[in-house]
Amino acid sequence: MITLEEVAGRFPGLAPQEVVLWIERRWLRAERAADGGTWLLTEVDVARLSLLVELRVTLDLDEEAMPVVLSLLDQLYDARRALRCLLAALEDQPEALRRAVLDAAAWQARD
Amino acid sequence: MDDPYKVLGVARDAAAEDIRKAYRRLAKQWHPDTNPDKPGAEARFKAISAAYALLSDPELRARFDRGEIDAAGAERAPAGGGWRDWAETGRGARYRSQPGGFEDPGGGFDEADLEEFLARAFGTRTGAGARPRGPMRGADIRATLRLPFLDAARGAVRTVTLPDGRTVQLTIPAGTEDGTVLRLAGQGMPGEPGAPAGDLLAAVEVEPHRFFRREGRDILLELPVTLKEAVLGARIEVPTIAGPVTLTIPPRSADGSRLRLRGRGVQGGHQVVVLKVLVPTGVEPELEAFLKTWTPRDRTNPRAGMLDL
């Protein structure tokens, strides 16, 4: 866990108030510190913050476009995560079952 | 936390045995019981133990060396540090997309999340949200069956082992084409009580043949013949899908002539033999001498009209 002030220092030109705004919009899921003062970020949140900085600051994406872009990105990664789960689950199956599933998938693809 | 190699005072490529020795020596030196008067001894001892715990485990040590974990053993962001590296891990589910606005994510990744992902990604309904329904028919088993060309042309019987260990006999009718799907009703997965089993669906992939090709019901065969055979005519043994037959090459057969062997195709089709006349490529002095003095009776220019476009 790292505080908002600490992490904002890693991105020059990024005002902590801007990040608070992102948290309020739920683009970033930081948590309030126990004393209610600052915000705490996990490593995932820090990576998310770099994504937001990249989109909003580096690429200067429109404020209105941000929710759309984020929603599409998140959906894409949902799908990729789900696919990974499936493939990982498949990896653990007996060879015959794996082949049957892959056959069936190839079969679906040819329709 | 400090670099465990520095804490133990060993090189990064130190052997396990050296690491153990260094640890023993330092642990004795800094053991809190033997250093009651040194205030930093306990912390130092803990650091030494932690460093040894990491470096004595070959797997942890390797992961540390690769930068996957830090000295405290905590996961590091994967190299690159981009969003993608996180987004596809379980922890990235913290930022899963929220239908109809952003609700409270309510903590980490659990099984219910996975079910929801799968349900949303593949449009299936699982768990509590499932619609009430009657007993489900068993799933179809889909398989691909690769067949040699001749087996598909003549028909064959194949024993197929299914994923659940059952074996079934598949009859491949003569003349089965590439891409045909054979269905064996009721040979799929069993259904729920009161519902029928699924079907076995086998998609046939026909392997190409060295000589034969399929064209609808006809079988095409390209047949090389010598110049002499083409000019003088010949009786030649040619292969068909049902075995060799004798074919008469009429005299003066041109390259590309198509000769038909009636009924030698599939399902009443024919075998079509396409002649490929081979001009001798070796040294043939007699042939060359003859051609030099030879004046063809047919004096038409085979290239007539080609130049006036």
DSSP string, A51-100: HHHIIIIIS---TTHHHHHHHHHHHHHHHHHHHHHHHHHHHTS-HHHHHH
CATH number reported for the structural domain that contains residue A16 in this entry: 1.10.1660
Minimum Cα–Cα distance from B200: chain A residue? A104
For the record, the structure tokens of B129 come out as: 């949200």
State the burial class of residue B243 (Cβ atoms within 10 Å of its Cβ: 0-12, 13-18, 19+).
Answer: exposed
B246 to chain A, any CB pair closer than 8 A? The answer is no
**Distance to chain B for A3, nearest Cα, Å:** 17
Block mean pLDDT (10 aa), chain B, length 309: 85 88 87 78 86 87 81 61 76 72 43 61 50 72 88 91 82 90 85 84 90 93 95 96 95 95 92 95 94 92 86
CATH code for position B48: 1.10.287.110
Q: Which residue of B has its CA nearest to A47?
A: B83
Give yes or no: residues A86 and A76 share one domain: yes
Parent domain of B251? 212-289
- Both A26 and A67 in a single domain? no
Instruction: Report the number of distinct structural domains present in chain A.
Output: 2
Exposed (0-12), middle (13-18) or buried (19+): which is B162, by Cβ within 10 Å?
Answer: middle
What are the tens digits of pLDDT across the range A19-67? 989 998 889 988 888 777 788 888 888 889 989 988 888 888 898 899 8
Range of the domain at A89: 63-111
Q: Are residues A44 and A71 in the same domain?
A: no
Q: Do both B58 and B36 map to the same domain?
A: yes
**CATH (domain of B251):** 2.60.260.20
Count of structural domains, chain B:
4
- Note the pLDDT of residue B47: 87
Domain co-membership, B201 together with B268: no
Same domain, B87 and B60: no
Q: A–B: how many Cβ contacts below 8 A?
A: 98
* Residues from chain B contacting residue A78 (CB–CB below 8 Å): 93, 96-97, 117, 120-121
B70 inside domain: no
Give the pLDDT of residue B118: 63
| ipTM, two decimals | 0.75
Do A57 and A3 fall into the same domain? Answer: yes
Is residue A42 located within the same domain as residue A84? no
Structural domain includes residue B102: yes
Q: Quote the pLDDT of residue B108.
A: 42
Nearest to B96 among A25, A78, A100 (CB): A78
